[in-house]
Structure 1
Amino acid sequence: MLQIRIFVSLLFLASVSIALYSGSINVNTTLYLKTLGIYWLFATLYSHLGVIVKKGNTNIDYGISYSLSVGLFAGPLGLFIYESLYRFTVYFIRRVTNTADPDELLHTFYNIGSFVLNGSIAYYLYLNLYPVFNSIPFGFWLLIILLMCVIALLSDMYLIVLFSFMGDIKNVQDAIEFVKSRSWVDLGKSAFSNGLLFILLIEQRWEMLVALFILNYLVSRSFVSKSQIIQSKLERDKFEQMAYTDFMTGVHNRAFMDKKMKELGTSGEYLGIIVADIDKFKQYNDSYNHAIGDKIIQHFANNLKSHLKEDDFLFRTGGEEFTIFLRNKSFEECSELVEKMRYSVMCSPVSAEFKSQYISITYTASFGLYYYKTSEYLPIEKAYVNADHLLLNSKEDGKNCVSVRNGITDLPLSVRYSE
Structure 2
Amino acid sequence: MQGSRIFMISLFIVSLCAAFFSEGIIVESSAYINALFIYLLFSCLYHHLRIISRNGNTSIDYGINYSLSIGLFTGPLGLFIFEAIFRFCVYFYKKHTKTDDPDEFFHTFYNIGSFVVSNSIAFYLFHLLYPLFQDIPFGFWIVMLMLITVTSMLSDTFLIIVFKLTGDIKTKQEAIDFIKTRSALDMGKIAFTNGLLLLFLNDAEWEMLISLFILNYLVSRSFLSKSHMLQNKIERDKFEQMAYTDFLTGVSNRAYMDKKMTELNKSGECIGIVVADIDKFKRINDSYNHAVGDQAIRHFADSLKSCLSKDDYLFRSGGEEFTIFLRLRSYDECLNLAEKIRKGIENNSFQADFKDNSISISYTASFGLFYYKVNELLSIEKAYVYADQLLLQSKELGKNRLSCREKTIHQHSPKESVLTNA
Specify if TM > 0.5: yes
CA deviation after TM superposition for structure 1 residue 345, in Å: 1.8
Contact 2:371 2:405 in 1 (8 A): yes
- Give the TM-score normalised by the residue count of structure 1: 0.96
- Distance 1:100-1:309 versus aligned 2 partners, 3 A rule: farther
Distance 2:303 2:86 in 1: 60
Structure-1 residue corresponding to 2:148: 148
- Counterpart residue type for residue 417 of structure 1: T
Distance 1:6 1:418 in 2: 79
Partner of residue 96, structure 2: 96
Given the alignment of the two structures, is residue 415 of structure 1 paired with residue 412 of structure 2, yes or no?
no
Q: Which amino acid aligns with 2:86?
A: Y
The alpha carbon displacement at 1:60 in A equals: 2.6
Q: Which residue of 2 aligns with 1:234?
A: 234
2:358 corresponds to 1:358: yes
Post-superposition offset of 1:168: 4.3
**Contact 2:273/2:323, CA 8 A, preserved across alignment:** yes
Structure 1: distance between partners of 2:20 and 2:347: 80
Shift of 1:223: 0.1
Give the Cα–Cα distance (whole angstroms) in 1 for the partners of residues 110 and 348 of structure 2.
60
2:6 maps to which residue?
A: 6
CA distance 1:111–1:348, change in 2 (3 Å): farther
Distance apart, 1:358 and its partner CA: 1.4
Contact 2:299 2:350 in 1 (8 A): yes
CA–CA separation in structure 2 for the residues paired with 1:399 and 1:154: 72
- Residues 299/61 of structure 1: CA separation in 2 closer, same or farther (3 Å cut): same
Alignment partner of 1:171 is 2:171: yes
Q: Which residue of 1 aligns with 2:160?
A: 160
- The question of 1:245 aligning with 2:245 is answered yes
Counterpart in 2 of 1:257? 257
Residue 383, structure 1, aligned to residue 383, structure 2: yes
Q: 2:407 & 2:331 partners in 1: Cα distance?
A: 9
Superposed CA RMSD: 1.6
Q: Does 1:125 align with 2:125?
A: yes
Q: Secondary structure at the match of 2:273?
A: strand
Distance 1:122 1:53 in 2: 26
- How many Å separate the matches in 2 of 1:279 and 1:373? 29
Counterpart of 1:271 in structure 2 is: 271
| C-alpha distance in structure 2 between counterparts of 1:206 and 1:149, whole Å | 27
Match of 1:337 in 2: 337
8 A Cα contact 2:312 2:327, kept in partner = yes
Q: Partner of 2:204 in structure 1? A: 204
Structure 1 residue 220 corresponds to structure 2 residue 223? no
State the match for 1:42 in structure 2.
42
The one-letter amino acid of 1:86's match is F
- Alpha-carbon distance in 1 for matches of 2:342, 2:13: 74
Deviation at 1:54, TM superposition (A): 4.2
Aligned to 1:298: 298
Q: Does 2:193 align with 1:193? A: yes
Q: Secondary structure at the match of 1:82?
A: helix
How far apart are the structure 1 equivalents of 2:54 and 2:346? Answer: 48
Distance in 2 of aligned mates of 1:177 and 1:312: 42
1:317-341 CA deviation, whole Å, 9 max, x = no partner?
1111111111111112211211122
Could you tell me how far 1:82 is from its partner in structure 2?
0.6
Q: SS where residue 303 of structure 2 aligns?
A: helix
Shift of 1:141: 0.7
Alpha-carbon separation, structure 2, partners of 1:181 and 1:282: 52
Residues 30, 304 of structure 1: alpha-carbon distance in 2 compared, 3 angstrom cutoff: same
What is the DSSP-based 3-state SS (H/G/I as helix, E as strand, rest coil) of the residue aligned with 2:415? Answer: coil
Query: Measured at CA, do residues 163 and 407 of structure 1 come closer, stay the same or move farther in structure 2, by a change above 3 Å?
Result: farther
Shift of 1:176: 2.7
Aligned partners of 1:350 and 1:302: how far apart in 2?
11
Correspondences of 1:305-344 after superposition (within 5 Å): 305-344=305-344
In the TM superposition, residue 166 of structure 1 has moved relative to its aligned partner by 4.3
Shift of 1:216: 0.4
1:411 CA drift (Å) = 4.0
String of CA shifts for 1:178-218, please: whole Å, max 9, x gaps. Answer: 22221111111111110011111111111111111000000
Q: Per the alignment, in what secondary structure is the counterpart of residue 311 of structure 1?
A: coil
Secondary structure, aligned partner of 2:174: helix
Q: 3-state SS of the aligned residue for 1:323?
A: strand
Residue-by-residue CA offset, 1:360-384 (whole Å, 9 max, x unaligned):
1111111111111111111111100
Q: Give the deviation of 1:252 after TM superposition.
A: 1.0
**CA–CA separation in structure 1 for the residues paired with 2:170 and 2:347:** 47
| CA 1:55–1:313: 2 relative to 1, 3 Å | farther
- 1:86 and 1:251 mapped to 2: Cα distance? 53
Task: Give unmatched runs, 5+ long, in structure 1.
Answer: none
Q: Relative to 1, partners in 2 of residues 1:331 and 1:58: Cα closer, same or farther, differing over 3 Å?
A: farther
Taking only the aligned residue pairs, the percentage that are identical comes to 59
- Work out the CA distance in 2 between the residues paired with 1:57 and 1:398: 63
Residues 407 and 415 of structure 2 are in contact (CA less than 8 Å); yes or no, is this contact kept in structure 1? Answer: no
Q: Please give the alpha-carbon distance, in whole angstroms, between the structure 2 residues aligned to 1:329 and 1:189.
A: 54
- Alpha carbons of 1:310 and 1:100: their partners in 2 closer, same or farther (altered >3 Å)? farther
Give the Cα–Cα distance (whole angstroms) in 2 for the partners of residues 104 and 51 of structure 1.
Answer: 17
| Partner secondary structure for residue 247 of structure 2 | coil
Unmatched runs of 5 consecutive residues or more in structure 2: none
* Gap change, CA 1:342 and 1:3, over 3 Å in 2: farther
Residues 6-48 of structure 1: CA deviation (Å, up to 9, x unaligned):
2222222221121122141112222212211110010010011
Q: 1:205 to 1:174 in 2, by over 3 A?
A: same
Paired amino acid for 1:153: M
CA pair 344-170 structure 1, distance change in 2 beyond 3 A: farther
1:167 positional shift? 4.2
Report the CA distance shift for 1:167/1:311 in structure 2 as closer, same or farther (over 3 A).
Answer: farther
Cα distance in 2 between the residues matched to 1:13 and 1:336? 80
SS of residue matched to 1:403: strand
In 2, Cα distance between equivalents of 1:238 and 1:57: 28
